[in-house]
Amino acid sequence: MTHHPPRFTFDNSYARELDGFYVPWEGDKVPEPRIVLLNSDLARELQLDPEALDTDQGAAVLSGAVAPEGADTLAQAYAGHQFGGFSPQLGDGRAILLGEVIDREGKRRDIHLKGSGRTPFSRGGDGKAVLGPVLREFLIGEAMHHLGIPTTRALSATTTGETIYREGPKPGAVLARVAASHLRVGTFQYFAARGEQARVKQLADYAIARHDPDLAGRDDRYLHFLRAVLRRQAHLVAQWLHVGFVHGVMNTDNMTISGETIDYGPCAFIDAYDPRAVFSSIDHGGRYAYGNQPNIAQWNLARLAETLLPLLHADPDEAVRIATEEIQTFPEIYAEAWLAGARAKLGLCRVEQQDSGFINALYAAMEGQNVDFTRFFRRLPQAAEGDEAPLTDLFDDAAAIRAWLPHWRDRLASEGRDPDAIKAEMNAVNPVYIPRNHLVEAALKAAESDADMGPITRLLEVLRAPFTPRAGLEAYEGPAPGDFGPYRTFCGT
């Protein structure tokens, strides 16, 4: 056993360059920090020593109780539109930025501790997190990463030895979260809402240096920055839809500048395809429904654009015109990203004029049919060879899909590509395994109620290779059993 303290080579640009954008702050002392999950691969990627982290000293650091050498821990300020209503002050109410490290590929990554105690941004909250939601964020973030979707990731989940009261007593926990940055749309909104234009500019230049360094120094950099964020978000949300992901709380404080998915609270994956699918217990209007996510992304980007107006043009009317024109490109950029992903799911290569109509006809055929979205795409290759039954069995009424399939086969044939190659390509983008809601719940319950980390550890292992079917893992493949009932998720726990 090694017992040297975990060493971090911090390079804290946020603390250094953005004085006034945060409050220096430390995590709470906690009675008994203990690592329950450690992401050793990610630790190595960050040039950290997993063995040094997996110690009592590592647990103390990863819970926020002890600041490692060289840390300038801080709580970040941000605002945000929550369900459309503006809160001028949110901020890290239960988290601190431990610091930034440079990873193996030279990329700057934040290490952030969520659940580390109250901060000046806590408002009425206790500043704490509990084990179930911490493990959910760990699990879903890893699942997204291995699905090839940009995301923040979990370095560790640490229990604190505290009892935290939610709807009952729960084990307290801290998530160590790794992100390309924690800059959010809401970070810009915080300073713009205060009329602190010089700070918005400073923040934009910081964000450009960090995420779009090619734009640094250009006169038109702020417009191109807006465009870059827009493109990242369009591609991200398209990827979400292609795996059936519902974020659940796309508030502007939960939308990154980097294009990574952040904040796995009330998120879920659809079993049955349904554009109106909502899981969050508080999303009564369906604002953040599965099929509404692109619209919301555009809405959020318009809020970012508003903060940048004075940087876009000296004449306010001209600035609004420029911003509006940019935001209006979203539907087309999104549609292109979505169509490219849909073609890949269907084994199609060629771009054709009628793709949009043709592919939308497929989704229309799935709607209202209780079709398991994930299984549908895994069974599709068989239907290319004429074996339709396994696929059509997924439908309540298969008339529409039977009518669509011959068009798809004709289209595949017209591309003249090797059928085995097509099948392999489809299976490389259509997962066998996703974090099915019922499996996630069972794994979290075992961990939280019985301190049994077996189910979550196995589920994490399955989700590390989501495109590769393995014998013996059939239980991880299908939708929830009928008695699982409608799935409800919760925010801010």
Question: Of the two residues 150 and 478, which places its CB atom closer to Mg ion in the complex?
Answer: 150
Q: Binder to ligand AMP among 81, 112, 128, 199 (CB under 6 A)?
A: 128
Tokens of 319: 């600035």
Q: Binder to Mg ion among 142, 263, 388, 425 (CB under 5 A)?
A: 263
- Quickly tell me which residue has 């049994």 as its tokens: 452
Minimum distance from residue 75 beta carbon to ligand AMP (Å): 9
Cα 356 from Cα 362, distance rounded (Å): 10
- Indicate whether 137 belongs to the interface with ligand AMP (CB under 6 A): no
Spatial CA neighbour of 79 closest among 288, 287, 283, 304: 304
Residue 356's binding partner out of ligand AMP, Mg ion, none, with CB under 5 to 8 Å set by partner kind: none
Q: Is residue 460 within 8 Å of 139, Cβ to Cβ?
A: yes
Residues in the chain: 493
The stretch near ligand AMP (CB under 6 A) out of 124-132, 140-148, 350-358, 372-380 is 124-132
Question: Of the two residues 137 and 271, which places its CB atom closer to ligand AMP in the complex?
Answer: 137
Query: How far apart are the two ends of the chain, measured CA to CA in Å?
Result: 36
The stretch near Mg ion (CB under 5 A) out of 233-241, 255-263, 383-391, 427-435 is 255-263
Q: Is residue 62 within 8 Å of 134, Cβ to Cβ?
A: no
- Indicate whether 94 belongs to the interface with ligand AMP (CB under 6 A): yes
The stretch near Mg ion (CB under 5 A) out of 117-125, 155-163, 248-256, 457-465 is 248-256
- Quickly tell me which residue has 């734009």 as its tokens: 215
Whole-Å CA distances, 441 to 158, 382, 454: 19, 32, 13
- Indicate whether 254 belongs to the interface with Mg ion (CB under 5 A): yes
Residue 6's binding partner out of Mg ion, ligand AMP, none, with CB under 5 to 8 Å set by partner kind: none
Handedness of CA 271, 248, 244, 436 (dihedral sign): negative
The stretch near ligand AMP (CB under 6 A) out of 3-11, 89-97, 137-145, 383-391 is 89-97
Q: Binder to ligand AMP among 125, 285, 316, 406 (CB under 6 A)?
A: 125
Cα 92 from Cα 177, distance rounded (Å): 13
Residue 432's binding partner out of Mg ion, ligand AMP, none, with CB under 5 to 8 Å set by partner kind: none
- Indicate whether 265 belongs to the interface with ligand AMP (CB under 6 A): yes
Q: Is residue 359 within 8 Å of 347, Cβ to Cβ?
A: no
Minimum distance from residue 378 beta carbon to ligand AMP (Å): 33
- List b or e across 469-486, with b for residues whose CB sees 16 or more CB atoms inside 10 angstroms: eeeeeeebbebbeeeeee
Cα 475 from Cα 478, distance rounded (Å): 7
β-bridge mates for residue 246, sequence order: 268
Given 212, 253, 263, 283, the catalytic residue: 253
Minimum distance from residue 300 beta carbon to ligand AMP (Å): 13
Those residues whose C-beta lies under 8 Å from the C-beta of residue 414, and which sit 6 or more positions away, are 350
Q: Which ranges constitute the DSSP H helices of 25-175?
A: 40-45, 50-53, 56-62, 131-146
Q: Is residue 334 within 8 Å of 234, Cβ to Cβ?
A: yes
Minimum distance from residue 88 beta carbon to ligand AMP (Å): 12
Question: Of the two residues 52 and 267, which places its CB atom closer to Mg ion in the complex?
Answer: 267
Cα 59 from Cα 160, distance rounded (Å): 9
Question: Of the two residues 121 and 279, which places its CB atom closer to ligand AMP in the complex?
Answer: 121
Cα 379 from Cα 377, distance rounded (Å): 5
- Indicate whether 491 belongs to the interface with ligand AMP (CB under 6 A): yes
Q: Binder to ligand AMP among 150, 291, 368, 492 (CB under 6 A)?
A: 492
- List b or e across 132-161, with b for residues whose CB sees 16 or more CB atoms inside 10 angstroms: bbbbbbbbbbbbbbbbebbbbbbbbbbbbe
Minimum distance from residue 263 beta carbon to Mg ion (Å): 4
Binding mask 148-187 for Mg ion (x = CB under 5 A): ----------------------------------------
Minimum distance from residue 309 beta carbon to ligand AMP (Å): 25
Residue 491's binding partner out of ligand AMP, Mg ion, none, with CB under 5 to 8 Å set by partner kind: ligand AMP
β-bridge mates for residue 116, sequence order: 128
Mapped onto helix, strand or coil, the DSSP state of residue 370 is coil
Question: Of the two residues 266 and 466, which places its CB atom closer to ligand AMP in the complex?
Answer: 266
Cα 63 from Cα 201, distance rounded (Å): 34
Q: Binder to ligand AMP among 40, 122, 197, 202 (CB under 6 A)?
A: 122
Residue 103 among the catalytic residues: no
Question: Of the two residues 87 and 369, which places its CB atom closer to Mg ion in the complex?
Answer: 87
β-bridge mates for residue 256, sequence order: 184
The stretch near ligand AMP (CB under 6 A) out of 31-39, 91-99, 320-328, 333-341 is 91-99
Task: Please give the positions annotated as active site.
Answer: 253
> Which residues of the shown chain bind ligand AMP in the complex (CB under 6 A)?
90-94, 121-122, 125-128, 253-254, 263, 265, 491-492
> Which residues of the shown chain bind Mg ion in the complex (CB under 5 A)?
254, 263
